[in-house]
Structure 1
Amino acid sequence: MYSNSFYRYPVRQNQNNNRYITVDGFYIQQLIPDTFLVKVSLSSYADTTFEAVTNNNNLYDQTAKGIKEFGIKEEDIILDNTSVTPIFEDGTNITSYKATTTFTIRVYNFQTVLEALSSPGDLNFEGITFTLTNPEEHYQQVLNRATENGIRKAKEIADAIGVSIDPIPLSIKEITDLDQLIERVTSSIPGEISTLKEGFVYIEAKVQEVFKIHTPM
């Protein structure tokens, strides 16, 4: 007789009958901005750098005082940079100096932006950025809608192939492109004051959801 080791016995393997549906949920929302970052500058000319900077500092103080008359708070006038540039004659001789101060005005009403920029003065309009005061709050709402979108997709796919799924996802993974999110939640526009119009910002969210398919008993 042969040893039992020569006979092949059937081996019962553990079969994993779990099947899944994986979907991406997506939602994007257009919003009217509630915060406006207005980039402006002032310039002064003088025979010396000291005089040019002094004159421009005085001009900045007067301008900031006028801006506050539109209800803009001091903390919303943000000084960015002051620079001095020599002015040449014939490309060799310095004839004077130009001092330039760049600053940002944070405003919460678009009409105030138009009024402040259209008032008489020495302001040079550099550009404007539309954004949101609390983007995190808006993003959370959009994220919830993206999750709901994924659930609807999974149900539609399950119905199309004739199966049923657990309506509660096994997992939800946030896959929003954060760089794109930041880019969309701000909108920067250079240009002339006369053509300035209120724009929109966008918030989007994307999730990946996994649903378990019910296996018939």
Structure 2
Amino acid sequence: MNHPPVSSQNKVGLKYMKVNGVGKISVEPNIAEIQVGVVTKDTNVTQAQQANSQVINKIIDSLASLQVSGNNIQTADYFIIPQYDYEDGTSIFTGYQVTHMLSIIIENLRFVGEVIDTAVQQGANRVSNINFKVKDEQFYYQQALTKALENGVAKAQTMARTMRLNLDYYPISIKEELVNKDQTPMPFVSAEVAGVSTPIEPGRLEVTARVEMKFSYTP
């Protein structure tokens, strides 16, 4: 039995339903972001800073050969912390710790492992998780959003058909919901054999869109 759509205007006895639509697109990442850094310690703060700066500059210079431009390298964090030991409730000053973290964007994923190894070889002693991303994410998000809308409409139509309801064809409202961006964090694993690049497999990312849709219907 077919139930024709009804108009939501001037209709007595209208009821409403809300549905959530979800759309997902699986894509291959095309950029990676990683943080590498240097931690130095010295009783003299200036010497700790100078030692840190020397290693950081060596790391930056070495990455040029791996197709990492200067525009894709920036300071993510820099801080100096006094160090103390505690004995019998008394603090004893032991020196300064200088930490400088670099955020590096790698546009050629073939070099991710080499970037890590090169940074470590040049003196980096801090490497954080790798995040794989999609550079043109909006292109894929629009596809996921289309799927989310289609999914929401299909859900509403299924419920109306199953319950023998007269569903208004057009939704009364559509609300786009925020979705946490899917990133693939990977722990750093250093190559143990000199000359062997750290193996990195980026896998795939999932771009997700969600919508909330409200439809009117009559029994």
State the TM-score bracket (shorter-chain normalisation): 0.7 to 0.9
Worse-matched range after superposition: 78-87 or 142-151 = 78-87
Partner of 1:72: 68
* 8 Å Cα contact 1:164-1:213 kept in structure 2: yes
Partner of 1:63: 59
Report deviation, 1:73.
0.9
Report deviation, 1:166.
4.3
State the distance in 2 between where 1:135 and 1:103 align.
24
Partner of 2:116: 117
The percentage of aligned residue pairs carrying the same residue is 21
* 8 Å Cα contact 2:55-2:122 kept in structure 1: no
| Root-mean-square deviation (Å) | 3.1
State the distance in 2 between where 1:53 and 1:110 align.
32
State the distance in 2 between where 1:135 and 1:148 align.
20
Partner of 1:105: 104
Partner of 1:51: 47
Q: TM-score, normalised by structure 2?
A: 0.72
Partner of 2:205: 201
State the distance in 2 between where 1:163 and 1:44 align.
70
Report deviation, 1:15.
7.7
Partner of 1:82: 78
State the distance in 2 between where 1:200 and 1:150 align.
25
Deviations 1:71-103 (A, max 9, x none): 111011111233345567896363x65433211
Partner of 1:27: 23
In terms of Rg, which structure is larger?
A: 1
State the distance in 2 between where 1:47 and 1:17 align.
80
Partner of 2:157: 155
State the distance in 2 between where 1:97 and 1:15 align.
75
Q: Which amino acid aligns with 1:170?
A: I
Number of paired residues? 196
Q: TM-score, normalised by structure 1?
A: 0.73
Query: 2:128 matched to 1:126?
Result: yes
Runs of 5+ unmatched residues, structure 1: 1-13
Deviations 1:132-167 (A, max 9, x none): 324333322211111001112222223323455443
From 173, 182, 186, the equivalent of 2:183 is: 186
State the distance in 2 between where 1:157 and 1:42 align.
58
* 8 Å Cα contact 1:164-1:214 kept in structure 2: yes
Report deviation, 1:38.
0.5
What secondary structure, in the 3-state scheme, does the structure 1 residue paired with 2:129 have?
A: strand
Deviations 1:156-190 (A, max 9, x none): 2233234554433333222x2x2xx23x4233333
Pick the structure with more helix per residue. 1
